[in-house]
Amino acid sequence: MGNLFCCVQVDQSTVAIREQFGKFDEVLEPGCHCLPWFLGKQVAGYLSLRVQQLDVRCETKTKDNVFVTVVASIQYRALAERANDAFYKLSNTRGQIQAYVFDVIRASVPKLLLDDTFEQKNDIAKTVENELEKAMSHYGYEIVQTLIVDIEPDEHVKRAMNEINAAARMRVAATEKAEAEKILQIKRAEV
């Protein structure tokens, strides 16, 4: 009905892209706007300015040949002052971000050993964020934050790591038990 009266409403945290006869004309801020359709003006689409989150799961191999699944959480948003770039230059934002994340993770994790991968997850996140920021700024997007939320080794590797850890703890327990027995025998001999 708004189009009948040449009016359109743009919601908060959203911008509208106005075209005139199919050509970009203006970015409309939140509020009420007149769009005289008989002059060829129309809304081409809307663009949210809210922060959005994309979780990316990427399988890669470490330097010591262990397959891991790295889960990166990317928070991004379209910039109001570059809304026309965000609307027209990129049709699949999530796919583009995912491709860059895959590229950076698969380039950086294979240089690290498994243990180093866990220790340097903040460095990996920073590298991903810097590369994304460079790439996505051309399309009118800002990368708010990048987190590596999970590094998950292959199930067999996890099991083997747990067995190694359990064996080490059993060895410590056996040593402690032997020390306790030794002290008890010395005390008995003294009496």
Strand partners, 27: 17
Amino acid at 4: L
Q: Using pLDDT thresholds of 50, 70 and 90, give the confidence band for residue 1.
A: very low
* pLDDT one-digit tens code per residue, 56-97: 999 999 998 888 999 999 999 999 999 999 999 999 999 999
* pLDDT one-digit tens code per residue, 124-177: 999 999 999 999 999 999 999 999 999 988 777 667 666 676 677 778 777 887
Nearest Cα residue to 3 out of 45, 54, 39, 42? 42
Amino acid at 2: G
Whether this model's pTM surpasses 0.95: no
Neighbours of 135 (CB within 10 A): 17
* pLDDT one-digit tens code per residue, 4-51: 567 899 999 999 999 999 999 999 999 999 888 888 899 999 999 999
Q: DSSP letters along 52-120, please?
A: EEEEEEEEEE-TTS-EEEEEEEEEEEE-GGGHHHHHHS-S-HHHHHHHHHHHHHHHHGGGS-HHHHHHT
The pLDDT of residue 166: 67
